[in-house]
Amino acid sequence: MSRDAWLVLADGTAYRGEAFGAEAAGEGEVVFHTGMTGYQEILTDPSYAGQIVCMTYPEIGNTGTNPQDEESSGLHLRGFAVRSHNHFGSNWRSRESLNEYLQRHGIPGISGIDTRSLVRRIRTAGAVNGVLVHGEFDPGELRDRASRIPSMEGRNLVDEVTCPSAYDWTEAGDWDSRPVQHERRYRVVAFDFGIKRNILRELVGAGLDVRVVPARTSASEVLADDPDGIFLSNGPGDPAAVEYAISSVRELLGQRPMFGICLGHQILALALGGRTRKLRFGHHGANQPAFDAAQGRVAIASENHGFAIDPDSLARDPDIEITHTNLNDGTPEGIRHKRLPLFSVQYHPEASPGPHDAAGLFTRFRSMIESFRA
C-alpha cells in the first residue's frame, strides 16, 4: 500500500492523498496549471520556485520523463499535486518514470486528491500558501506551518534560480530538428532571472548568439560586452522585489534593442516607471487568449504568472503602448515603446509547454536588432 500524503492550506483546507515522488516536505504558494500536456516542462521551469503546482488535468505521468524536455537543470517547485499519478509512463522518448524523476530531484508529490475542488478553492479565495508532506501528520499543525509561509508579494526568488556565472548557449531546436541557418548572427546578452532553455533555443534559432548572465549583472558589465541586443528572461516571485535588475534595465533602456518575457516583461515595465500588482490567482496554462491589437488576432498563449503590470501606471507615458491584452480578464500582456527599441510580453512565445502561436516574436527581436545595427 502506498503511503499517505497531506496537502494543507493556510486557510485550513486539508487534502489527504497518496504519496509519490521524494519523501520531503514542500512549502509554498499553491497554484494550478491548466495545461493538459507538459508536466515535465512545468516541473523544470524555474518560474515555479517557491510554489506547489497542482495540475488540473487528472492523469499525470502518462509519458514518463526524458532528458530532452527539461527547461532547466533542476526542479524548482516545492511540491506537485495531481489527481492521478501514473507510475507507468508510455512514450518512445521516456527514460524514467515521473515518480523516479521526482525522487531523484527531491520533490514530494501527492496524488488521488480532489484537485478540482482545490482549484475552485484557489479560484474563489485567491492564491494561498500550503504545505505538502508525506506520512502521518496533524492537519492543524500543518495549517499553522502553512500560515507562517511568507507571502509571494515582496519576495525575490530570482536569487535562488539565477546562474552563478555567465555562460554561452549554442543549442537550437528540438532533439531531432536542425535549426535554420542564418547568414549573419548577432550577439545578445540574456539576463537569467530563471531562464527556460527553450527561450535560449529560440534565440539561437533566430540567429542570435546568446550569453547568459546572472541576474545581478550590472548595466555597465552588460554594455562592456557590446551585445547587439538584451534579453530579459522569465523568472519566479515578485518582480518589484528584484530591485537591482529594475535599475540595471533602467540604465540599459534605449542602449540596445531589448526583449522581455514574463518576469522580464514586468521588470521592463517597472524600469519604465510602471507598477505591478499581484493577481488573485494568476494565469498558469497553455490556452490563454492573448490579443494582438495591431494585427487584430489572437495568439493561444502559454502563460505562467502571478503578477501583472498595472496598465494605469503606464498610461501617463504616451510613448508606451499596450500591444497585447488577455481577453479573459483584460490584463495587459504586451508593451512596446514608440521611440525606444524595446518590447515585451507577459506570455511565453517559447511555449514549452504550450502552443507555438507567438514564436514569431523571436524573429521580431532579431529584426529590431537588425534595424538598430543598420
What is d(CA 365, CA 277) in angstroms, rounded to the nearest whole number? 27
Q: CA–CA distance from 207 to each of 75, 78, 154, 285, 288 (Å)? A: 29, 35, 37, 29, 28
The correct pick among 4, 37, 100, 149 for binding another protein (CB under 8 A) is 37
Cβ(241)–Cβ(155) under 8 Å?
yes
Angle at alpha carbon of residue 138, lines to 136 and 142, rounded to 5°: 105
Residues 211-240 touching another protein, rule: CB under 8 A, are none
Q: In this chain, which stretch among 212-220, 253-261, 289-297, 338-346 interacts with another protein, using CB under 8 A?
A: 289-297
Cβ(58)–Cβ(36) under 8 Å?
no
Q: CA–CA distance from 317 to each of 113, 264, 274, 340, 345 (Å)? A: 48, 20, 9, 13, 18
Closest listed residue to residue 246, CA positions, set 265, 261, 225, 223? 265
Asked whether position 327 contacts another protein by CB under 8 A, the answer is yes
All three cell numbers of 366: 532579431
Asked whether position 90 contacts another protein by CB under 8 A, the answer is yes
**Which residue, 288 or 323, is less far from another protein as judged by CB?**
288
Alpha helices in 253-331 (DSSP H): 263-271, 311-315
Q: Which residues contact 223 (CB under 8 A, 6 or more apart)?
A: 252, 255, 256
CB of 239 to another protein, least distance (A): 23
**Which residue, 64 or 264, is less far from another protein as judged by CB?**
64
Asked whether position 35 contacts another protein by CB under 8 A, the answer is yes
Alpha helices in the chain (DSSP H): 39-43, 98-105, 115-125, 139-147, 158-161, 197-205, 219-224, 243-252, 263-271, 311-315, 360-373
**Which residue, 113 or 320, is less far from another protein as judged by CB?**
113
**Which residue, 35 or 207, is less far from another protein as judged by CB?**
35
Asked whether position 4 contacts another protein by CB under 8 A, the answer is no
The correct pick among 88, 135, 167, 224 for binding another protein (CB under 8 A) is 88
Asked whether position 363 contacts another protein by CB under 8 A, the answer is no
The correct pick among 115, 234, 248, 276 for binding another protein (CB under 8 A) is 115
Residue keyed to cell 527531491: 106
Q: CA–CA distance from 100 to each of 26, 64, 108 (Å)? A: 17, 9, 11
CB of 110 to another protein, least distance (A): 14
Judging by DSSP bridges, how do beta strands 14-21 and 4-9 pair with one another?
antiparallel
The correct pick among 44, 51, 63, 162 for binding another protein (CB under 8 A) is 63
Q: In this chain, which stretch among 50-58, 72-80, 184-192, 332-340 interacts with another protein, using CB under 8 A?
A: 50-58
Q: In this chain, which stretch among 116-124, 150-158, 179-187, 228-236 interacts with another protein, using CB under 8 A?
A: 116-124
Q: In this chain, which stretch among 91-99, 148-156, 179-187, 237-245 interacts with another protein, using CB under 8 A?
A: 91-99
The correct pick among 288, 331, 344, 346 for binding another protein (CB under 8 A) is 288
Asked whether position 45 contacts another protein by CB under 8 A, the answer is no
**Which residue, 37 or 313, is less far from another protein as judged by CB?**
37
Angle at alpha carbon of residue 296, lines to 295 and 300, rounded to 5°: 95
Asked whether position 178 contacts another protein by CB under 8 A, the answer is no
Asked whether position 147 contacts another protein by CB under 8 A, the answer is no
Asked whether position 286 contacts another protein by CB under 8 A, the answer is yes
Angle at alpha carbon of residue 25, lines to 132 and 59, rounded to 5°: 45
Annotated active-site positions, please? 262, 348, 350
The correct pick among 26, 257, 341, 354 for binding another protein (CB under 8 A) is 354
The correct pick among 114, 168, 243, 317 for binding another protein (CB under 8 A) is 114
The correct pick among 355, 364, 370, 372 for binding another protein (CB under 8 A) is 355
Closest listed residue to residue 333, CA positions, set 317, 315, 341, 321? 321
Interface positions with another protein (CB under 8 A): 32, 34-38, 40-41, 56-59, 62-63, 66, 68-69, 83-84, 86, 88-93, 112, 114-117, 119-120, 123, 174, 285-289, 291, 296-298, 300, 327-328, 351-356
